[in-house]
Chains A and B, each alone.
Chain A
């Protein structure tokens, strides 16, 4: 009886989550190659984004939105414009912040955790974080997209992030969505739209 129940549960869950299948070894290799090709051809990215913060006790997710600018190899400007003005530029070992006119620079060189988080953000924008030894990585395919889930190995980091998920388009392996899940299962989901690749981006953009 228990056996049948188990099979029933398995069948049901594969029906419910049927669209999400683990990639096999050759698919992973092909996918990684596609991501690498896209990433190396990407010199600049500008994109709009909407961020949804989900907290289980709230009626609605908290929605903020803005623009993202990336320039190879590792310049990122993350700018919130709605409902408030806030920009953060990732530049070498510094965060250059402009919080509605209040400017500050944060040295992240000394904080290992912050550096990891910053690397995650920069790399997820680029789409390259496969050579990392800090995470267990699983590769999934869904109907229209590929999904990569990163689970931190480091205990301290796992206290802050349960997993980090990236969604890639099937056609050209660009990142369409980033999701950071906390140990409490609350999460932050960032959806990218209006992505423009390799337009001319001046270095002067990356200041606060």
Chain B
């Protein structure tokens, strides 16, 4: 009996340690020194999205506006549908500035979560630490703030479709991206049409839809 418990305990520990992100992927030689996130990289584009936030059963809507305003510098503004600002953040490399946030929402844990989520979404280049491959994807792993980011590019088209932020053993945040369907492949690679930021350890998800004229 004791031995059975021990074995099941060991099985539990080892299986929970295995990160599911890399399941089914094969390690391969590093071919790129840096991984590049192409979305939000054009200073000439106003990236405007209808956003929905679901947090512990509550739903909020609004508009997310992202603008690259300089090298490694992004402004992120969230407003209500009526246009009044909910928050206004500036990301510059590792620097973060809170220009504005509604007083009622100015909670450290919330601001931190939003900061990390948008940093994950906006960071343009990361040094590659490991590289993986499968039939469908090329995957690049990088280190970020005591965690890891995995970038999934379709194989062979090279569209960035998924970013997974993990600890050593667990997925924390999964970002799913549907690129814009476009005549030109370059635009399809550059513009994220639909974005879903799904937290795995808390009940928080943010979905974003790119503004297209009817």
- Chain A residues with CB under 8 Å of chain B are 51, 53, 55, 57-60, 62, 64, 78, 80-84, 86, 88, 97, 99-100, 102, 104, 117, 121, 156, 159-161, 180, 182, 184, 186, 188
Contacts and interface: CB of A to CB of B under 8 A. Distances in A.
Contact of A84 (B65, B69, B209): B209
Contacts of B83: 51, 53, 62, 180, 188
A142 B88 CA distance: 34
A62 B59 contact: no
Contacts of A186: 85
Interface residues of B, number: 29
Contact of B214 (A51, A82, A100, A182): A82
A104 B81 CA distance: 15
A57 B75 contact: yes
Given A62-B211, A84-B209, A102 B52 contact: yes
A99 B81 CA distance: 10
B79 to A, nearest CB: 7
Contacts of A97: 61
Contacts of B81: 64, 80, 86, 88
The listed residue with most B CB atoms (<10 A of its CB), out of A60, A83, A88, A161, is A83
Contacts of A156: 103
Nearest to B82: A188
A91 B174 CA distance: 38
